[in-house]
Amino acid sequence: MRLHLRGVILPGDEVRDLWVCDGVISFEPVRDAETLCGAGWIVPGLVDAHCHVGIRYGGGHEDREGALAQAEIERDAGALLLRDAGSPIDTRFIDERADLPKIIRAGRHIARPKRYIRELGIELDDERDLPQIVAEQARAGDGWVKIVGDWIDRSAGDLRPLWSDAVLKEAIDAAHREGARVTAHVFGEDALPGLIEAGIDCLEHGTGLTDETIEMMVHHGTALVPTLINIDTFPEIADSATKFPVYAAHMRDLHARVRETVAAAHAAGVPIYTGTDAGGSIRHGRIADEIEALAGAGLSRHEALAAASWRAREWLGRPGIEAGAPADFVVYERDPRTGRNVLDAPAFVVLRGRVYPRRDPVTGHR
Ligand SMILES: [Zn+2]
C-alpha cells in the first residue's frame, strides 16, 4: 500500500508531506499513493519503555493468546516500541507478527528468594552468582537486563537493597561487556547510591531519589523511567501491608512526594522516559495516562510527548520519522500536546506501513 500524508511532523513545527512505500518512509513523492490525511499531526511511534508483555493483569504468567492481545492493545494506543523491563515468558513469537509492536526484551527479572513478586524472576540464593546470571540474561535479551534493586525485607519490615555494592559493580560491568545496558527496579533511598555508582544505565520507579542521588544520576548520565501511574498504586500496597507499618508509611511517603521527585530530577537534567509498567497491576494500553502524568510532574506537554516518542526512540537506538525508516507513526487530528483527549484518540496508527484506524470505543469496530 502506498500512502501520502500531509501534516505537522513532530518534533518539527512545519507542515510537510510524507509518503509511505513498501512499509518505509519517503519524503519524495510516490506515484499512485492514496492520501490518508491532508491535515494532522504525525508523531513518531510511541514508546512504552516499561511494559511487561507476558505478565497477566492481576498477576502471573500470561499465555500466548494473552500476550498477543496485550501487544495488540498497545499498538492501538499508538505504542509501537516496547521495552519489556522483564518478562517471565518468551515472547519471541511476537517478532514474527508484522502487525504487532516491536519488543526490546530485558530477559527475566533477577532477584533473590522472597525478595520480589513470586515466580516472575530468577531467584539467586547466592548473590555472587549475579554477574554470571546478568551476562546470561544479557545474551537472552535485546540489549537490556533487569535486576531488582530493592524490595521489602520482611525481617527488617522495610525496603532494603538486594545486593552489595561490589557485586553490583561486577554484574553491571559483565552486562556492559556483553553490549547490554542494565536497569533496576528501585523504590527506596538506600539501594540508589550503589546502583548509580556501579554504572547502571537506567532506574525504574526511582521514588526514593533525593537531591544527592539525583546529582549522582546527572554525573553518571543515568536515565529514569518513573512509571507514575504504577506509583499511584502505592497507597493500596500500603493498605494491604498491615503487618509492616514502617514499610507502609515509607510507601505512602514515597508516593506523596513522587511528582516533586520527578520534577527535581527533570530540572537537574536527568533524562526521563515514559513507562506504564503495564502487566500485573496496570492494564495495557495506558501510554496516554503516563504522558499525562509526566506532564503533571514538571515536564512540559512537549517534553512529556518527547519522552514517549522521538527522544525515547533515540535513547533505544530506533529511528523517528526519517527517510528510509520503517513507517511507524501515529496520526492525530489535533495537536497531541494540547491535552489528554487528543492523545487518547489517534486518528490512525501506522505500523510498518500498515494502517490501523481508530476503533469505536463502544463497538470495538474500526
Ligand atoms: Zn515492572
CATH-assigned architecture of domain 2-43+319-357: Roll (2.30)
Contact assessment for residue 20 and residue 324, using Cβ atoms and an 8 Å cutoff: no
Answer yes or no: is pLDDT of 266 > 80. Answer: yes
CA of 254 relative to ligand 1 center, distance in Å: 17
Q: Give yes or no for residue 215 having a pLDDT over 90.
A: yes
Q: In the CATH hierarchy, which fold is given to the domain comprising 46-316?
A: TIM Barrel (3.20.20)
Cα 260 to averaged position of ligand 1 atoms, centre (Å): 21
Rounded to the nearest whole angstrom, what is the distance from the C-alpha of residue 85 to the centroid of ligand 1? 6
Mean pLDDT score of the chain: 96
Output the pLDDT for position 364.
Answer: 64
Span from the CA of 366 to the centroid of ligand 1 (angstroms): 31
Residue-wise pLDDT tens digits, 154-174: 999 999 999 999 999 999 999
CA of 217 to the centre of ligand 1 (A): 20
Give per-residue pLDDT as tens, 45-81: 999 999 999 999 999 999 999 999 999 999 999 999 9
Distance between Cα 282 and ligand 1 center (Å): 9
**Sequence ranges of the domains in the chain:** 2-43+319-357, 46-316
Q: How far apart are the CA of 111 and the centre of ligand 1, in A?
A: 13
| 3 state SS of 272 | strand
To 5 degrees, how large is the angle CA 226–CA 47–CA 149? 35
Q: In whole angstroms, what is the distance from residue 132 CA to residue 318 CA?
A: 28
Tell me how far CA of residue 138 lies from CA of 169, 174, 176, 181, in angstroms: 15, 9, 9, 8
Indicate if 46-316 has the same CATH topology as 2-43+319-357.
no
- How many angstroms is it from 109 CA to the middle of ligand 1? 9
Distance between Cα 150 and ligand 1 center (Å): 13
Per-residue pLDDT reduced to its tens digit, 225-264: 999 999 999 999 999 999 999 999 999 999 999 999 999 9
| CA nearest neighbour of 187 among 241, 216, 150 | 150
Global pTM value = 0.97
Residue that has been written with the C-alpha cell 502505592 in this structure: 234
CA 194 to ligand 1 centroid distance, Å: 20
